[in-house]
Structure 1
Amino acid sequence: MTIDVVPDGDRMNVRVCGELDHGGRPLERGLDEALDNSASGIDLDLSAVGFCDCSGLNLLLGLRRKALDQGKTVIIGVSGPPVDRLLELTGARELFVHPGSAAGSAEPDAVGDSPKAPEAVDHELRKEVAELRRAMQTRPSIDLARGILMASFNLSPEVAWTVLVTASQNTNTKLHRLAQDLVGTVQGTPLPEDVQQQLAAAVAQARAAVPLA
């Protein structure tokens, strides 16, 4: 990860090259320094960013919050596909445009709804990013559990996922917790009898809904 900072009047033009992920601490320091050295904020060129995940988005949201506290702005002038996808997925693009522009103005969520202020959108996005990060952390055990169901009951990936979700709902157990318990059976830790029964029922229900070839 490298950054190139060029002063431009009262702002700083910052070009970022590399990956925006959980290893972005050095980048965060560089961006903070560029923000501190600017009079009104920084303009980001993220066209050379080859990868961006939720940690990278969280870094950008944190930078925006620091800028707001200083009465400055952070603008994403140009970005490549990896950043574009995440901005569009989370609806965060409007937080990094020039104030007063069409994309940056508060817009109604739906017909009849009141417009949301940027601060409210920012808060919601931070919650969404936190939830996405938790999902990324629990995904490996969920994938393993699905693989166990596929191997144990000769299920397709889609049916195994349906079984896992159904059993989670019927046992009132968090999906990642049920997945961890299921993975634990490989080491000999048995599932509670009621969970076993619900898994069996979910398998039967899923097979009936989607007959296997």
Structure 2
Amino acid sequence: MTVRVDAAGDRLAVTVSGELDLDSDPFLQQTLNKALDRTTGGLELDLAGVDFCDCSALNVLLDVRDRARLSGKQITLSATSRAVQRLLTLTNTLPLFTEDPADPNRSAGPAPNATTTPPAHPADERATPDAITTHGARHHPSTAHAGPSRDRLVTENAQLHRAMETRTSIDLARGMLMASFHLTPEQAWQVLVTASQHTNTKLHQVADALLHTADGHTPLPEPLADHLATAVQIHRK
């Protein structure tokens, strides 16, 4: 993994490339925290060069974002790769990084020229209605620089809380797959994603269903069991 930090007005532009996993997480966390301390506005993340991103890396991004909010700063995405887009979409955390309440004229997604890919999962929405703003809409001078509304903060906190809950079940499910089928962390992640896509089921729901089988009596529902078995065979190779 490589990280480059550049000035971008009152913010810092952080460009990350390579693989984001347990090995690179400590360096990523340290780098982002230091960059956050150096800026008054926040960070703009360019993750277009990220080849692989797992839940532990998402944990780092959420932690840094929470730290930024406490200091009145913003963490937003300027570009994403397919791997990052897929993870954020499947965990319903994409809106947390694509809206900027401090700037009402800013769109609810990566910059128009950003290198992005469409969501890989049809069952998940890319952003909540509150995250969408009309391009070119006029704002009253008295509210143009107002902070985020109470409703927006409630929605944002609920999304963050849900992300924390679902990430735990996803990590546990990956551990079960790794122990049961001798998979690597990346292979276990790909198995969950493949089963999620082929059954049109949200990733955390696939993970929950797998965890329920740990009692030895609850079987996986059909056709999830078949798709999961096929995914294991594919990615174990």
TM-score, length basis structure 2: 0.56
Query: How has the CA–CA distance of structure 1 residues 137 and 73 changed in structure 2, closer, same or farther, with 3 Å as cutoff?
Result: same
How do residues 1-213 of structure 1 correspond to structure 2 at under 5 angstroms? Answer: 1-23=1-23, 24-97=25-98, 98-99=100-101, 100=104, 101=106, 103=108, 107=129, 117-143=155-181, 174-176=212-214, 178=216
Instruction: Return the alpha-carbon distance in structure 2 between the equivalents of residues 34 and 143 of structure 1.
Output: 40
User: How far 1:143 moved relative to its partner?
Assistant: 3.6
Cα distance in 2 for partners of 1:72, 1:62 equals 13
Q: In 1, distance between residues paired with 2:213 and 2:180?
A: 8
Identity, in percent, stands at 33
Please state how far the C-alpha of 1:118 moved relative to its aligned partner.
Answer: 0.5
Q: Distance in 2 between matches of 1:19 and 1:177?
A: 34
- Shift in CA distance, 103/9, structure 1 to aligned 2, threshold 3 Å: closer
Which amino acid counterpart does residue 6 of structure 2 have in structure 1?
A: V
Task: Provide the residue aligned with 2:145 in structure 1.
Answer: none
C-alpha distance in 2 between matches for 1:5 and 1:102:
23
Between structure 1 and structure 2, the one with the greater Rg is 1
**Alignment coverage as a number of residue pairs:** 150
Distance 2:107 2:158 in 1: 18
Which 4+ stretches in 1 moved above 4 angstroms? none
1:71-121, Cα deviation, whole Å (9 max, x unpaired): 10100110111001111111111001222456378538xxxxx98611111
C-alpha distance in 2 between matches for 1:133 and 1:22: 12
RMSD across aligned positions (CA): 2.9
The residue matched to 1:117 in structure 2 has which SS?
A: helix
**Separation of aligned partners in 2, 1:2 and 1:177:** 42
User: TM-score if structure 1 supplies the norm length?
Assistant: 0.62
1:19–1:8 distance in 2 versus 1, CA, 3 Å: same
Report deviation, 1:30. Answer: 0.4
SS across alignment from 2:129: coil
For residue 6 of structure 1, report the CA deviation from its aligned partner: 0.5
Amino acid in structure 1 at the alignment position of 2:83: P
2:13 counterpart letter in structure 1: N
- Distance 1:106-1:50 versus aligned 2 partners, 3 A rule: closer
Range 90-99 or range 77-86, more displaced: 90-99
Q: Which amino acid aligns with 2:214?
A: H
Identify, as 1 or 2, the structure richer in helix.
1
Q: CA deviation at 1:141?
A: 3.5
Measure, in 2, the Cα distance between the counterparts of 1:126 and 1:118: 13
Q: What one-letter code is carried by the residue in structure 2 that aligns with 1:68?
A: R
Q: Which runs of 5+ in 1 are unaligned?
A: 109-113, 145-168, 179-194, 200-205, 207-213
